[in-house]
Amino acid sequence: MSITTTHERRPLVPGRRAASSERSRRLQRVATTTGLRLIVPALILAAWWAGSRAETAGLFVADPFETFTRVRTDFLAAGEGHAFLGDATWDHLFPGVWRALQGLGLAVVVGVGIGIALGRNRILMALFQPLIHLGRSLPSPALVGVFFFVFGTGDSPKVFLIAFSVVWPILFNTIDGVSSIGAARMQAAAVFKINRWDRLVHIVLPGAAPKIFAGMRTAMSLSLIIMIISELQKSQNGLGYLLIQSQRNFDYTGFWAVLVVLAILGVVMNIIFTIIERRVLAWHRGATQQHD
Amino acid sequence: MTETLEIVNTKAELVLDGVSKSYGANLAVRSISAEVPAGKVSVIVGPSGCGKSTLLRIISGLDTPTEGSVTFEGSPVTGVPEGLAMVFQDYSRSLFPWMRVAKNVAFPLRHLKPAERAERVQEAIDAVGLAGKEHLYPWEMSGGMQQRVAIARALASHPKLLLMDEPYASVDAQTRADLEDLLLAIQARLGITVLVVTHDIDESVYLADHVIVLSAPPSVVAETIEVDLPRPRDHVTTKTDPRFVEIRGHVTRLLRGAGRPADDGTH
């Protein structure tokens, strides 16, 4: 008897009713969290506005509404052939972001490549471990001068500085991910005579991918920070350059507009990253939810 | 039909000759000699930690014996031999969670042409009763179904020798019985040589044409027992057969004599 009852399905109609009340409850929950999430930004905006009205702070804090207007005119104004984007977007935002992406891309290639080599080879790991720990513990902004000295002017010192700064989380996470794949899977690969290349592409890389993505997320946030730092000196464009310029010209509205654009940039890049990650790691989300 | 097992000493497909393996001063298996005849089901049974998995690693060419040799179809095993496939104990670690069922099964067949590969995959998936589940991920399936995927993956390479390392240790009793019958049905149809390693006495006698009983470590072969139970077997008739009870009792006594509290073989 007990065996049959355990396999019994719940009756259909109460089940459906349960599902619909579940849906309305979830909707309510989403509405509540969205409402809660809006409170703090609204408070910040109010504080910002109050600050801009205040006697002393008002000298440095631009009016939020003027700031948003500046964001619109500088970054979003529709000129001809500008595809609805303003001069500042083309002259400063895009070149800087392009350098950050180049640096990030370089760091991913180098970090994942070296990480796999080290994660799979104990001797290489022992050889290079001291060097890696040394490299990681160097605060990279201190190296700005070195990179300008070695790579000259133009984009390359900035790109290489970004790559050098953000490679570490990717490298360490890749090493970690590769060693987390497990002996059983590698043994299965050996028994089924999977060649080295297929093992790398179809077992090691996907197996390490969850950790690699975690490292890339950290690296992405870091790349924006280093992007700004690299543009603060010896620069002709970029948001960092724009920050310095507006500060020197006592253009605080412009300065605050850049900050707003930076915040939006961070959010947008995070959203894009999350979309890519969800696609690539769909299996991982499913597999971990299953085992909870 | 009663199996006649006089052929054990002739035409053996896999021969272990005095295989020993030690890790440092630690002797895992000691001078194991056994023969796995072609087209039969052989089962190695022994207490936990008796070096069964070590032995399987040596047979599959993933490890080398300290002494002795393994011969497969007349040639010594140095790497993973051609025509060998394996089903691992832990399906959740040996299947690839980022591949769907069909791709998991197809993955070892990457050297084949796409059409032939697809045909083999379908054939293997049908054989284990998973038709229609090709597009699921392993983690969307029950443990028993995942182990069916692992069996399909092994069968797809058309092996001559199928090694199974405690294949049903992680599934529940009912699923286990179903998978045992599935294995026997596939073996009868394809005539492949099967070598199963298990610690379950019931399972060893139920599956086997002959059972190789290992002693406690450092393990030696305590005895090789011919199982002359008729085929096809089923869980009710075979397991109530007095001959089954007798052989099971014999294996149990051997394992108890091996000096360790062994599995009593009941589910």
Question: Which residues of chain A lie closer than 8 angstroms to B108, CB-CB?
Answer: 192-194
Round to whole Å and give the CA distance between B114 and A277.
Answer: 30
Please tell me the predicted confidence (pLDDT) of residue B243: 94
| Chain B (29-88) residues lying within 8 Å, Cβ to Cβ, of chain A | 60, 62, 80, 84-86, 88
Please tell me the predicted confidence (pLDDT) of residue B52: 83
Please tell me the predicted confidence (pLDDT) of residue B25: 80
- Interchain CB distance below 8 Å, B140 and A193: no
State how beta strands B221-226 and B210-214 pair.
Answer: antiparallel
Whether A198 has its CB under 8 Å from any CB of chain B: the answer is: yes
Task: Please name the residue ranges forming H helices in B163-263.
Answer: 173-190, 201-207, 237-240, 242-257
Please tell me the predicted confidence (pLDDT) of residue B145: 94
- Smallest Cβ–Cβ distance between A191 and the set B80, B90, B99 belongs to B80
Separation of CA A33 from chain center: 24
**pLDDT tens digits, one per residue of B102-148:** 999 999 998 899 999 999 999 999 999 999 999 999 999 999 999 99
CA angle (A275, A279, A284) in 5-degree steps: 115
Residue to test with chain B: of A203, A283, A289, A292, most B Cβ within 10 A: A283
> Which residue in chain A has the smallest CA separation from B59?
A191
- In sign, the C-alpha dihedral spanning B231, B236, B238, B241 is negative
Separation of CA A288 from chain center: 22
Tracing tokens 């305590």 back to the chain, one arrives at: B222
Buried-state track A203-213, b at ≥16 Cβ within 10 A, e below 16 = bbbbbbbbbbb
B98: number of Cβ within 10 Å:
24
Please tell me the predicted confidence (pLDDT) of residue A253: 92
- Smallest Cβ–Cβ distance between B140 and the set A198, A286, A291 belongs to A286
HSE-up of A119 (CA within 13 Å, CB side)? Answer: 26
Whether B172 has its CB under 8 Å from any CB of chain A: the answer is: no
Contacts of B145 (CB under 8 A, 6+ apart): B130, B133
- Interchain CB distance below 8 Å, A202 and B96: yes
Please tell me the predicted confidence (pLDDT) of residue A83: 66
Region of residue B197 (left: phi > 0; alpha: psi -120 to 50; beta: else)? beta
Question: pTM of the prediction?
Answer: 0.83
Quickly list DSSP for A120-175.
H-HHHHHHHHHHHHHHHHS-GGGGHHHHHHHH-SSSHHHHHHHHHHHHHHHHHHHH
Looking at CA atoms only, how far is residue A191 from chain B in angstroms? 6
Whether A285 has its CB under 8 Å from any CB of chain B: the answer is: no
Does an H or E element contain A255, and which?
helix A252-280
Q: Give me the residues of chain B with pLDDT under 70, please.
A: 1-12, 258-267
Question: What tokens appear for B37 in the block?
Answer: 């005849």
Please tell me the predicted confidence (pLDDT) of residue B48: 77
- Smallest Cβ–Cβ distance between A182 and the set B85, B93, B98 belongs to B93
Tracing tokens 């995942």 back to the chain, one arrives at: B146
- Residues A60, A252: contact at Cβ < 8 Å? yes
Q: Give me the residues of chain A with pLDDT under 70, please.
A: 1-19, 78-84, 290-292
- Residues B219, B51: contact at Cβ < 8 Å? yes
CA dihedral B257, B261, B264, B267 (to 10 degrees): -160
**pLDDT tens digits, one per residue of A70-94:** 998 888 876 666 666 788 888 899 9
Residues facing residue B215 across a β-bridge:
none
Question: Which residues of chain A lie closer than 8 angstroms to B107, CB-CB?
Answer: 192, 194, 198, 202
Please tell me the predicted confidence (pLDDT) of residue A245: 93
- Interchain CB distance below 8 Å, B94 and A184: yes
In chain B, the N- to C-terminal Cα span, in Å, equals 27
Quickly list DSSP for B126-164.
HHTT-TT-TTS-GGGS-HHHHHHHHHHHHHHT--SEEEE
B16: number of Cβ within 10 Å:
25
- In sign, the C-alpha dihedral spanning A192, A193, A194, A196 is positive
Using CA atoms, how far residue A206 sits from A200, A282, A289, B90, in Å, is 9, 11, 18, 19
Looking at CA atoms only, how far is residue A260 from chain B in angstroms? 39
Whether B91 has its CB under 8 Å from any CB of chain A: the answer is: no
- Residues B30, B220: contact at Cβ < 8 Å? yes
Round to whole Å and give the CA distance between B110 and B96.
Answer: 15
Whether A121 has its CB under 8 Å from any CB of chain B: the answer is: no
Please tell me the predicted confidence (pLDDT) of residue A81: 61
- Could you give the angle at which helices A205-231 and A252-280 cross, rounded to 10 degrees? 170
Please tell me the predicted confidence (pLDDT) of residue B38: 92
> Which residue in chain B has the smallest CA separation from A284?
B98
Looking at CA atoms only, how far is residue B146 from chain A in angstroms? 13
Round to whole Å and give the CA distance between B87 and B179.
Answer: 12
Question: Which residues of chain A lie closer than 8 angstroms to B140, CB-CB?
Answer: 286, 290
Contacts of A217 (CB under 8 A, 6+ apart): A270, A273, A277
- Smallest Cβ–Cβ distance between B96 and the set A185, A187, A193 belongs to A185
Whether A209 has its CB under 8 Å from any CB of chain B: the answer is: yes
Q: CA-based diameter of chain A, in Å?
A: 85
Whether A217 has its CB under 8 Å from any CB of chain B: the answer is: no
Looking at CA atoms only, how far is residue A107 from chain B in angstroms? 25
What is this model's ipTM?
A: 0.81
Altogether, the residues listed in chain A come to a count of 292
